[in-house]
Structure 1
Amino acid sequence: MAPSQASHVPTLDSLIKAFNNQLLEASIESLIFLLKRRQVKGDECAKATAHILRQVVAKSKWHDVDQLLSRVQSAGSRVARAAPQEPVIGNVVRRVLGLIRDEASEDRNADDYGSEAASDIQSLAPSAPLPQRPPPVPVRPSPSVIAGGGLQVSKSMFNLLSVADTDSPMTGASTPLSQAQPASVHALRSEVMDGIEEILDEINQADDQIAGFSEIQIHPGDYVLAYQPSRTVERFLVKAASKRRFTVIIAGLESPTHGATEAPYAALRKKLNGAGVKTINLASNGLMAYIPRVNKVIFSAKAVYQNGGLLVDSGCCIAAQAAHEYLKPVIVLSPVYKFCPEDPSDEVSRGELGNPSGYVSYANGPAVDALDIENTVTDYIPPELIDVYLTNLGPQTRHHLASILADHYKTEDIGFNLHLGES
């Protein structure tokens, strides 16, 4: 059940800390509640999904790989349906499913290797005692010599090996996990949880790794247009400012906030100015006037689809189209965990609509009744408008996306529809 007190909704950090002390179902419902209320969104969704799937692996009951995959698929589908506008949730679920398949495959290969070793030992032993030829010298051996002869000892050793091989759990075929000992289940559980921790480390370190390539992409004296800079873009620009002197033009469709005490992106401007980098605030309607002076356009993506298209914040498509017309390079910053192994749907191409109250006052009732106002929250950018995909693995082009997706997702999981059913 969702938390009953809506006024005391926990933050993501407090929710993650509470996962260890909660029942699994309560943890899933708490996360779903935050996702539906948009209190967990953007990059935080990836971290929250990885944490909740780690709890699924640790706390749910399963006895073989198929059951574990089913548990992760079920929980992942519920979380993904709570926030269908966040494709990164599905990406993390598929990454964990692929991780489970890899770990199970390694266990089976280890079993097969042990079985082959046992077979080799058995093949070296004689299958039956060899017949003895009569000795050329008519000397009758004593009974004690027969009892202690090497041939009889070899036969006894072979019998021991046969008994040991019969009792051994290693056979010629790989042993399914459902027939394995509880220690095998415990080992797989531990390996998968360690793998999820590595995914969490990747998520936490991605922004800093992307920022490490800023020296290559930004040159002294550049005019860089940053459209609605996200946290990833901010770290990228601040890192570049520690090595380069350039000018940043900050543009965006930032809606007016009632009671706001400072201008948008004031903290970013303060950091850049402190490092000696000039900043210019620009409204979106003045974009075309500055594009001829700009050297490159930089923004971040919410998702990178299989065809190279992007799901971005509203307005980024205008900047990308303007840069394309003036032959200015467009650099998109996106960690690998945002790469989605699917093509964009019709809903993605149309964009998500949000609350327009930030742009129009409902106090003027007659004017509002006469208008049909749409506030587009996300845009879709086709791949032909993008020049460089800058990931935590380095700069990439559209032609290299297929290999990155193949390295991070299994074919069996790409077709799995996370949004089937009702939330």
Structure 2
Amino acid sequence: MAPSQASHTPSLATWTKSLRDQSLEASIESLIFLLKRRQVTGDECAGAIAQLLRQVVAKSKWHDVDQLLYRVQTAGARLARAAPHEPVIGNIPRPEPASSPTTSPSPARTLTSGLQVSKSMFNLLSVADPSESPVTGASTPISQAQQPFSVHALRSEVMDGIEEILDEINQADDQIASFAEIQIHPGDYVLAYQPSKTVERFLVKAASKRRFTVILASLNPPAPGEEEQPYAALRKKLNAAGVSTINLASNGLMAYIPRVNKVIFGAKAVYQNGGLLVDSGACIAAQAAHEYLKPVIALCGVYKFCPEDPSDEVSRGELGNPSSYVSYADGPELDSFEVENTTTDYIPPDLVDVYLTNLGPQTRHHLGGIYADHYKIEDIGFSLQVGE
């Protein structure tokens, strides 16, 4: 169901402002609408999902942990199906081990952490109800008058936990940028492929401490007649800090790779095997860097770590509209061949040297510890198991 025609033009900003006044179902449908139209993509997805799940906890009717888990799970599944090309959506409602010391809890993990029991969510379902002791799980008599207070306390604690998630998501880019001085050295030539907001913040932070050169590689060169070069705002910030910039179309990558010291790009997702989901063309840059023994650094918040291996569809890349490369006005000439425009690439783990997260730099061999801190094996499919 699309938003009412009488409402303002749908956008993430207007959706966020409407959360308090809209019904829960209207908020879910509106976000699904934005996800399907790809008006909410990339890094925006994680924050939007966390805000929506906060509304699920606050507005939905539930009387015990089982019911709340089901509400979170159902909403997460609906949103994940609305945008299967955004794997980060499924990460937010998935539960985490209650004993994880390195990260804020997911909404699902928040349901268990208040009980002070180091168990996964599904294991906890058999003991987590208001009539049981929060420490031992032993049955304790409780009156009907006491039960609403228990639900209210749990609701408040889960809401506080979701606020922690939002803080972690909002702070991730700044935390990643804090490692820029370690990764970039004076005089470096850094190739940044289609820099995301995370990469931009990282480069600007480095520019406040270092003098180096940034090669901004873009998949598409500026169209004929366009005055503004790609990433003009980023170039202006870097130039103002004394950092030189070079604009480069992706077809010129091989000419510059021997000169660069490292290749940096933002990852849309990090899979369990260490492979990356990235913007189309980034795999070519990673392959070229690998051939010339240049380090490849992927920037990504820990909330983008997906506890599953990439599917065949991910490995092949997502297909987009090819009309920017061929004109359908050419008519008959197009009948003799097919044109595929991939909008995402998959980079295998052997092409990545450093995963720079908000927890610091990681190598592929240390990713297992991050996944162990964030997910239980039996909970991996949590957000995708419930139907509409």
Q: Please, what TM-score do these two structures have when normalized by structure 2?
A: 0.88
SS in 1 for 2:277: strand
Matched-pair contact (CA < 8 Å) for 1:177–1:184: no
Partner of 2:99: none
Hey, what does 1:159 align to over in structure 2? none
2:45 counterpart residue number: 45
Task: Give distance in 1, aligned partners of 2:235 and 2:3.
Answer: 39
In structure 2, which of residues 305, 315, 323 is the aligned counterpart of residue 357 of structure 1?
323
Shift in alpha-carbon separation, 1:6–1:186, aligned structure 2, 3 A: same
Do the aligned partners of 1:257 and 1:358 also contact (CA within 8 Å) in 2?
Answer: no
| 1:97 corresponds to 2:63 | no
SS at match of 1:63: coil
User: Can you list the C-alpha shifts for 1:383-415, whole angstroms capped at 9, x where unaligned?
Assistant: 011000000010011111111112122334213
The number of residue pairs the alignment matches comes to 367
Shift of 1:421: 4.8
Q: Is 250-259 or 297-306 further displaced after alignment?
A: 250-259
2:350 match: 384
Matched residue of 1:292: which SS?
coil
1:290 Cα offset (Å): 0.9
Structure 1 residue 417: deviation in Å?
5.8
Residue 93 of structure 1 aligns to a residue whose secondary structure is: coil
Q: Deviations over 1:146-179 (max 9, x none)?
A: xxxxxxxxxxxxxxxxxxxxxxxxx954679999
Partner residue of 2:295? 329
Q: In structure 1, what is the Cα distance between the partners aligned to 2:245 and 2:143?
A: 59
Superposition pairs of residues 173-188 of structure 1, within 5 angstroms: 173=139, 181-188=147-154
Give distance in 2, aligned partners of 1:325 and 1:268: 29
Q: Distance in 1 between matches of 2:31 and 2:224?
A: 29
Equivalence for 1:130 = none
**Which position in structure 2 is the counterpart of 1:247?**
213
Q: Which amino acid aligns with 1:55?
A: Q
Does residue 339 of structure 2 align to residue 373 of structure 1? yes
For the residues of structure 1 that align with 2:230 and 2:139, how far apart are their CA atoms? 63
For residues 275 and 42 of structure 1, what CA distance do their matches in structure 2 show? Answer: 28
Separation in 2, partners of 1:297, 1:6 = 47
Give the counterpart letter for 1:97 in structure 2. Answer: A
Residue 158 (structure 2) pairs with residue 195 (structure 1): no
Question: Structure 1: which 5+ runs fail to align?
Answer: 116-170
Deviation digits for residues 111-151 of structure 1 (CA, Å, limit 9, x no counterpart)? 74888xxxxxxxxxxxxxxxxxxxxxxxxxxxxxxxxxxxx
Distance 1:383 1:177, change over 3 A: farther
Structure 2 CA distance, aligned partners of 1:376 and 1:42? 16
Which of 346, 368, 374 is the aligned partner of 2:312?
Answer: 346
Q: How does 1:113-128 map to 2 (within 5 A)?
A: none
Alignment of 1:277-316 (within 5 A): 277-316=243-282
CA 1:309/1:348 → structure 2, altered by over 3 Å: closer, same or farther? same
Amino acid corresponding to residue 182 of structure 2 in structure 1: I
Shift of the alpha carbon at 1:286? 1.3
Instruction: Report the Cα distance in structure 1 between the residues aligned to 2:300 and 2:144, rounded to whole angstroms.
Output: 39
| Segment drifting more, 197-206 vs 92-101 | 92-101
Identity value in percent: 75
Q: Deviations over 1:46-94 (max 9, x none)?
A: 1110000000000001111111000001011001100000000001111
Write the mapping of 1:23-38 to structure 2, written as runs, cut at 5 A.
23-38=23-38
Partner amino acid, structure 2, of 1:100: L
Q: Can you give the 5+ residue segments of structure 2 that lack an aligned partner in the other structure?
A: 95-105, 118-126
Cα distance change, pair 359–113 in 1 and its aligned pair in 2 (3 A): closer
Q: 1:413 aligns with which of 375, 379, 383?
A: 379
- Which piece of structure 1 moves more, 68-77 or 3-12? 3-12
1:3 pairs with 2:14? no
Residue of structure 2 in register with 1:317 after alignment = 283
TM-aligned CA deviation for residue 252 of structure 1: 2.0
The structure whose Rg is larger is 1
Which residue number in structure 1 is paired with residue 84 of structure 2? 84
